[in-house]
Amino acid sequence: MASGINHIKGTLLIAIPVGLVGFFGGGGIPDGLACALGCLSGIILSPDLDVEHRTESEYLIYRVLGKFLGAIWFAFWWPYGKMIPHRSPLSHAPILGTIIRILYIYGLGGILWFAFAWAITGHGTWLPMPNWLHPLAFWWLIGLIFADALHYIMDVLPFWKQHRYPWWMRTLRKLFR
Ligand SMILES: [Zn+2]
């Protein structure tokens, strides 16, 4: 598993190439920017939100937006960390992990939005869902999928693994323990 800081560095490094995918694949600068932004969103909407303790993403929000919003962000993702085992395919598999995280935001976010609207206006409304076929939303999502795919690769590659022993030694130790 690569550390949170390495994940952030990796995401920053690929943001421009991923932006170019949107630029050439979509309709020029707006789609390119949306794609790069989606990739950078991966720093905050990280697959590692599946851990129960404070992650790099939560630490960043805490630092940038302050204690109050940081605490809300942490609380919002706490059930996600509780439900999904760390580095399970539900959070880390490319595409699937991204889609489940988006659905989680809409599930829990939708309930909270409904309750908030109910408290203020006396009747609940559903959280408006972006039109994913709109080019900007579509390329943002593609950018996020790229960031999550890189995260997965970095977690899987032995190069970044934070272990004292290389993977083959740990396999031998497991076998002959
Ligand atoms: Zn991870």
Question: Residue for token digits 């935001």?
Answer: 105
Q: Where in the chain are the domains?
A: 4-175
pLDDT at 168: 67
Give distance in angstroms: CA of 87 to centre of ligand 1: 6
Cβ 148 vs Cβ 1: under 8 Å = no
Give distance in angstroms: CA of 118 to centre of ligand 1: 37
pLDDT in tens, 115-171: 988 998 888 788 888 888 999 999 999 999 999 999 999 988 765 555 566 656 666
Averaged confidence pLDDT in the chain: 88
pTM above 0.75, yes or no: yes
Q: How far apart are CA 8 and CA 67, in angstroms?
A: 21
Give distance in angstroms: CA of 48 to centre of ligand 1: 5
pLDDT at 54: 81
Burial (CB count within 10 angstroms: exposed 0-12, middle 13-18, buried 19+), residue 54: middle
